[in-house]
Amino acid sequence: MDPNQKLGEYGSMLHYAALWGWLELAKLLCESDKTDVNLVGQTHGTPLQVAVIGGGKDGPKMVELLLSRGVAVAAAVAEYITMANMILDHDNTTLNMHAGHHTTPLQFAIHARWKSMVEFLLERHSMFKDNDGTPLHLAAHLGDRKVVRCLVRSKYVSPGARDMCGRLPLHLAACSRCLGAGVHNLRMLTNDEFTLVSTDEHQRQHALHFAAGCGHLDVVKLVLQKHPDAVRDCDVDGWTPLHWACRSHSSKVVEFLLDRDDSTCRNARSLRGWTPFDVARYHGGRLTSDGSLRNRLRPNGPRPPFQSPADLAADEETARPLKPEEAASSSSGLGVICDACKCVIYGPAYECTRCIDFHMCFKCFRRVVKMHYRGHSFRKITCSGEILETDPWG
């Protein structure tokens, strides 16, 4: 009997042995020179794919057995690309179809860190530009070096492209989810035209602001090594890198910035009068609870640090002095990230009512009309859970 004969929906005898976890039968079949261990079934792929998806409690042992017999992992992966090719040949409009949280097939492939599928979809001219920007923006934020390298070498994307928030891919690399990947990817994403101190279009932040806000000390050191004066650079609201670092709770980044320029950084006030000390207190108070660091952050002069009620955003500040019981550190009870600056949100969060899981902090929400889809309404969610509808375009 031909061991490669199709017996049913799953394929050959080895496919079914992999499906049901029959290790002894799989061993016998793999020992036969006639058995094609990489045979691709029409519906479920190779025996290795079947073992991974439906191998039951003995699935890991079956996978180990097949790998020890020299099955080609690439053959299993290639089959998915073959199926994708068949789908696109049938209906090419699915290439850029938007659906679900990851939006397009290319966006999903980048989230899955699937370099070969990314290359395939790029060859089919798949592109997207939405809240995540270009494929390079998304890959830079996820921190996948192989995918970033693949995209940089591609003729379909540019390191100079900007997303809806006005950011370059290098800005997303500076605040990457993957610790340690930022420095490597920044070297690929910067050039003579787009440098570490190139700013975004709407908030005038550069790589140092983004890295400080997310507590990435390695990127902070890289930027200041090349651009020492950047430690004093202010964004559109007058926030220095130290202001941003006080959002991150990273004492190492805060101390490093203070070591570079203690007096200037510590006493810098934003356009609304906030010092880094105020930012630290508003964003949970963790940094100001440490005695030595609190003293280093405290600004000079008799003026007391600015205080803000927990649910008060900067745009809602009042001139009246606050009573001690009113002043409080805000909280991050919602546990969400601002999709514009990539910092954890403290105080009120602004959630788009039409996009999937899109939030902004009070600072970035000031420029929402420049950084998000026109006509999308938002709801303001306070620390206490109160929900208030708000229309930036109203």
Instruction: For residue range 142-168, list pLDDT tens digits in order.
Output: 898 988 998 898 877 789 999 999 999
HEC sequence for 193-221:
CCCCCCCCCCCCCCHHHHHHHHCCHHHHH
Q: What angle do CA 137, 203, 194 make, to 5 degrees?
A: 50
297-301 mean pLDDT: 86
Q: Which amino acid is at 130?
A: D
* CA–CA separation, 240 and 266 (whole Å): 10
| Greater model confidence, 32 or 213 | 213
Nearest to 106 by CA among 145, 75, 137: 137
pLDDT of residue 323: 40
HEC sequence for 91-110:
CHHHHHCCCCCCCCHHHHHH
pLDDT of residue 329: 45
pLDDT at 110 over 60: yes
pLDDT of residue 103: 66
242-262 mean pLDDT: 94
Q: Which amino acid is at 43?
A: T
pLDDT, mean over the chain: 81
Tell whether pTM > 0.75: no
Residue 285: count other Cβ atoms within 10 Å of its Cβ.
16
178-199 mean pLDDT: 94
pLDDT of residue 127: 59
* CA–CA separation, 269 and 178 (whole Å): 32
pLDDT at 49 over 90: no
What is the DSSP secondary-structure string of 242-288?
HHHHHHHT-HHHHHHHHHHSHHHHHH---TTS--HHHHHHHTTSTGG
132-139 mean pLDDT: 82
318: number of CA atoms within 13 Å, CB side?
A: 9
pLDDT at 226 over 60: yes
pLDDT of residue 251: 95
* CA–CA separation, 26 and 182 (whole Å): 44
pLDDT of residue 260: 93
pLDDT of residue 119: 73
pLDDT at 321 over 50: no
Q: Which amino acid is at 215?
A: G
| Greater model confidence, 29 or 115 | 29
185-192 mean pLDDT: 96
Q: What angle do CA 297, 167, 178 make, to 5 degrees?
A: 70
8: number of CA atoms within 13 Å, CB side?
A: 7
pLDDT of residue 90: 57
| Greater model confidence, 212 or 354 | 212
Q: What angle do CA 112, 117, 122 make, to 5 degrees?
A: 115
* CA–CA separation, 305 and 244 (whole Å): 17
98 φ, ψ (degrees, to nearest 5) = -95, 130
DSSP 359: E
* CA–CA separation, 83 and 70 (whole Å): 23
pLDDT of residue 115: 76
pLDDT of residue 200: 96
* CA–CA separation, 253 and 221 (whole Å): 9
pLDDT at 62 over 50: yes
pLDDT of residue 198: 97
pLDDT at 317 over 50: no
pLDDT at 306 over 90: no
pLDDT of residue 302: 61
Sheet arrangement for strand 378-381: 359-360, 349-352, 378-381, 387-390
pLDDT of residue 384: 72
| Greater model confidence, 131 or 255 | 255
pLDDT at 191 over 50: yes
pLDDT of residue 18: 86
Q: Residues 72-90, buried b or exposed e (16+ Cβ, 10 A)?
A: eeebbbbbeeeebeeebee
Contact 326, 358 (CB under 8 A): no
98 burial (CB, 10 Å; 0-12 / 13-18 / 19+) is: exposed
Query: Most confidently modeled of 42-46, 152-156, 336-340?
Result: 336-340
pLDDT at 366 over 80: yes
Cα 51 versus chain centre, distance = 32
